[in-house]
Amino acid sequence: MQPSIVEMIYTQKQDIISDWLSEINNVMPSGLAKKIPNEASDETNKKFVELIIESLELTEEAATEKLNEFAQHLIYLGWPLSYFTQGMQAFRRVLLETMSSMESISSKKVFETFYEIETWVDSIINQIADEYSGSWESTIHLQRMALKELSAPLIPVFEKVSVMPLVGTIDTERAKLIMENVLDGIIEHRSQVVLIDITGVPVVDTMVAHHLIQTAEAIRLVGAECILVGIRPEIAQTIVNLGIDLSKFRTKSSLRRGVETGLELTQRKIIKIENDDERIDSR
């Protein structure tokens, strides 16, 4: 940045700031203006404009750091990105107005200066936008991780029998995760029978069925058996109407009947405990 411009900004500092403050109040997103009390927004505005001007004399790194800090603070408070972009645009407008009102500068000079200011303002906008998108990405990442953890648990209910309840739509990525979880879980719990419960899966189309078939095949390869349970009437109808062949797999309507079959496959069954007196009687 040319020293002459910096100097000009400094001499006109008070005017620029007051002009900008009135400008920013005009362009402030209307939703935000309602949410935040005037004093707070005034203070933030002041801080922001001082930071912008201050960044002129700091080294690039120091300026970047200060800006990031400020942006992070506002992200934390929930200020929208448009506040920054509109604020910077307003700042540029104010600066150019101030400059064009000064007679000492020739139009050619104004043009040159305009270019410099443009670059400067744009770089600040970019930096702040980066900061914002970074924070969004990390939020999305955290949510995705949380979703992943909830997505496909394998629960060992009996020795050698495990259940994987599936809730929600299954897409390719999730199907992959399901397969990995189920196979690792089989090895870990030494399961012989895995019940996949699709009661909570709203739609079973050809793709979902394909993924389920693949999972069942993989389960067979590692040496366990898969039973598909929780097939609701409408799911049974779609499966048949779509012409999906599930005849190779064991399927059961409910988890309860699946558990019974699973125990049968491992040579066990659930029995009712007889009363002691009854047993004595029967002898």
Question: What is the binding site for other proteins (CB under 8 A)?
Answer: 179-180, 183-184, 186-187, 190-192, 214, 217-224
Q: In the complex, what is the shortest distance from the CB of residue 83 to other proteins, in angstroms, rounded to a whole number?
A: 48
- How near is the Cβ of 183 to other proteins at its closest, in Å? 3
Q: What is the CA radius of gyration of the chain?
A: 33
CB of 223 to other proteins, least distance (A): 4
- Measured from the CB atom, the residue of 38 and 247 that comes closer to other proteins is 247
Rounded CA-CA distance 255/165 in Å is 9
Which CB atom, from 81 or from 209, has the smaller least distance to other proteins? 209
The nearer residue to other proteins, 45 or 162, going by C-beta atoms, is: 162
Least separation in angstroms between residue 186's CB and other proteins is 7
Minimum distance between the CB of residue 277 and other proteins, rounded to whole angstroms?
40
Alpha carbon separation from 270 to 253, 259, 265, 279, 282 (Å, rounded): 19, 10, 13, 18, 21
Question: Residue 161 in 3-state DSSP?
Answer: strand
Render 37-73 in DSSP notation, one character per residue: -HHHHHHHHHHHHHHHHHTTTS-HHHHHHHHHHHHHH
Residues 6+ apart with CB under 8 A from 57: 6
Least Å distance, CB 219 to other proteins, is 8
> What is the enclosing helix (H) or strand (E) of 200?
strand 193-200
What are the strands, taking DSSP E only, across 74-169? 155-158, 161-167
Closest CB to other proteins among 5 and 186? 186
Q: Could you give phi then psi for residue 141, rounded to 5 degrees?
A: -60, -45
Nearer to other proteins, 95 or 212 (CB): 212
Give CA 265 to chain center in angstroms. Answer: 42
For other proteins, the closer of residues 73 and 190 by Cβ is 190
